[in-house]
Amino acid sequence: MAMRLSGLMSGMDTESIISQLVDARKVKVDKAKKAQKTVNYKQEAWKSLNTKLKGLQGKYLSNMRFTTAYAKKTSKISDSSVASVITGEGAVKGVQTLEVESLAKTAYLTGGELGDGKQGYTALSTLKDLGVEFDESGEGKISIADGSKSVDITVNENTTISDVLTQLKDFGLNASFDEKNQRFFVSAKESGEANDFSISFGDTNGENALKALGLSVDPNDTTGKGATKVDGKNAVIYLNDAKFTNSSNVFEINGLTITAQNQTKPGEKVTITTQDDTDGIYDVVKNFLKEYNSIVNEMDKLYNADKTEIEPLTDDEKYALSDKEVEDIEKKLAESALRRDENISEVSQGLKSIMSAGIEINGKTMYLSDFGINTLSYFSAPDNEKNAYHIDGDSDDDSTSGNEDKLKSMIANDPSTTISFFTKLSQNLYDKMTDMSKSVDGYRSFGSFFDDKKIKSDFTEYNSKIADLEKKLNDYEDMWYKKFSKMETAMAKMQSNTSAITSMLGGK
């Protein structure tokens, strides 16, 4: 960097002069930076659109091209108080009978009141506090068992209520002590006979401890203060007179999930009717069209954006504007970034051509219009929404809600034809989108609907170009500072020589 002297000798504002000379050359740098920003606006706009296109293909079309996407059925039960039914894909259409003989129960032991229920025992109270006396051995055993295992726990006068709770929990039971009601509460973690449990004494000392803890059930007790036990029980139902047993009230049978809720009366049967879910299939088509319309409308809007003479802002230009002004300019630039973009035109036209084409079903060529699905007339459709499809009779669509609902009628009366049409349409769209997003060496990555590689390359090239232009600009600025520096130095020498001559001639 050259030494930068101001106009000390010449009196010239060299900083200002050089700044004006450099600004004239800086235009090239700014132009390159603006061009790079234009590429960036285009890149960002396409990234957003590309994500939506891939979503349409992956979330909707990849499923809708298979009949399983439309294999939706619904079931109704004649008495919803008896059971609820969820219909899975494997459910068979038809009418079935259901009887609920018994409901599953979870084994539950409610302990008896400790003492008279007023002593205020806590989790830290011991068997000694509860009045248990042991023989000379000083200990006793309590047995815990369920359908698959059993264990004996040893207790003594120092065993606390908390210790007993820990042993019950370690065995795999839910257990707690309610200090307010002075009772144990113990239950199995799952319902059913296999999860039933028992708590019994292992010896005489254990019998005393069990009674003191309120965990010994006396079937002859009528006071309501003793322990009570509800045994675990399986649920039993009959579907089409075939018996099914389960540890819980939820049965999964041939595509149906039946949750028993109440027993049927002896000899009583309720019916389960399974049929095609017209609304479910309708929603599959409707949701797809909603997503398709959103993307096609966006592409039309981006492609038809108004031409703008506004250029991207440099940092200096941003500094001179308010934040709101900068925001408005950048918004306009983003909105017009893909105006007349060739990739958008290619993708948009590709999708539209598939949607408008006929599809052969059972020897007959059918169109979306055969299902009451059409675009609006050119003059009634809003700008950039002229290629959106509307379903006749759609209650959510103000433009067509008053028309006859042909799609639902077709689904109800001829589901096979309807499903065949939309699976083929989806397959055609899926294949077209796959073709439009295939890899192109040097231009496009696989899964990209635009020339992402080319745009990235263009952006990177501007980095080099800008760096080169900035170097040239700095060299140009240094050159002028060197020239003015030499001029100032020469003028300083001239003045020095002039002073010496004047002094020699006797001047002052």
List residues bridging with 275 in a β-sheet: 74
pLDDT at 68: 87
Q: For residue 301, is it within any domain?
A: yes
Q: Is there a single domain that holds both residue 399 and residue 296?
A: yes
Q: Is there a single domain that holds both residue 213 and residue 131?
A: yes
Q: Is there a single domain that holds both residue 238 and residue 346?
A: no
pLDDT at 501: 63
Q: Is there a single domain that holds both residue 291 and residue 172?
A: no
Do the Cβ atoms of 109 and 215 come closer than 8 Å? yes
List residues bridging with 365 in a β-sheet: 360
Q: Is there a single domain that holds both residue 177 and residue 121?
A: yes
3-state secondary structure 176-194: EEECCCCEEEEECCCCCHH
Do the Cβ atoms of 180 and 237 come closer than 8 Å? no
List residues bridging with 251 in a β-sheet: 258
List residues bridging with 151 in a β-sheet: 144
pLDDT at 86: 95
pTM of this prediction?
0.66
Q: For residue 2, is it within any domain?
A: no
Q: Is there a single domain that holds both residue 423 and residue 371?
A: yes
DSSP 409-455: HHHHH-HHHHHHHHHHHHHHHHHHHHHHTS-BTTTB-TT-SS-HHHH
pLDDT at 30: 84
Tell me how far apart the alpha carbons of residues 494 and 363 are, in angstroms, rounded to a whole number: 104
Do the Cβ atoms of 296 and 352 come closer than 8 Å? yes
Q: Is there a single domain that holds both residue 206 and residue 314?
A: no
Query: Which residue among 242, 276, 310 closes a domain?
Result: 276
Q: For residue 458, is it within any domain?
A: no
Stated length of the chain? 508
Nearest to 492 by CA among 4, 3, 2, 10: 10
Q: Is there a single domain that holds both residue 141 and residue 221?
A: yes
Q: Is there a single domain that holds both residue 299 and residue 445?
A: yes
Domain count for the chain, please give it: 3
pLDDT at 221: 85
Tell me how far apart the alpha carbons of residues 133 and 278 are, in angstroms, rounded to a whole number: 72
Which residue ranges of the chain lie beneath pLDDT 70? 1-14, 17-19, 21-24, 117, 476, 480, 484-485, 488, 491-492, 495-508
Q: Is there a single domain that holds both residue 251 and residue 318?
A: no
Q: What is the DSSP secondary structure assignment for residue 241, as one 8-state letter?
A: T
Q: For residue 336, is it within any domain?
A: yes
pLDDT at 2: 44
Q: For residue 9, is it within any domain?
A: no
pLDDT at 248: 96
Q: For residue 254, is it within any domain?
A: yes
Query: Which residue among 230, 264, 297 closes a domain?
Result: 230
232 CB burial (10 A radius; 0-12, 13-18, 19+):
buried
Q: Is there a single domain that holds both residue 329 and residue 442?
A: yes
Q: Is there a single domain that holds both residue 254 and residue 293?
A: no
Structure tokens at 11: 């009196």
pLDDT at 9: 47
Q: For residue 293, is it within any domain?
A: yes
What pairing do the DSSP bridges indicate for beta strands 83-87 and 183-187? unpaired
Query: Which residue among 431, 453, 475 closes a domain?
Result: 453
pLDDT at 430: 97
Q: Which domain holds residue 258?
A: 73-104+234-276
Q: For residue 473, is it within any domain?
A: no
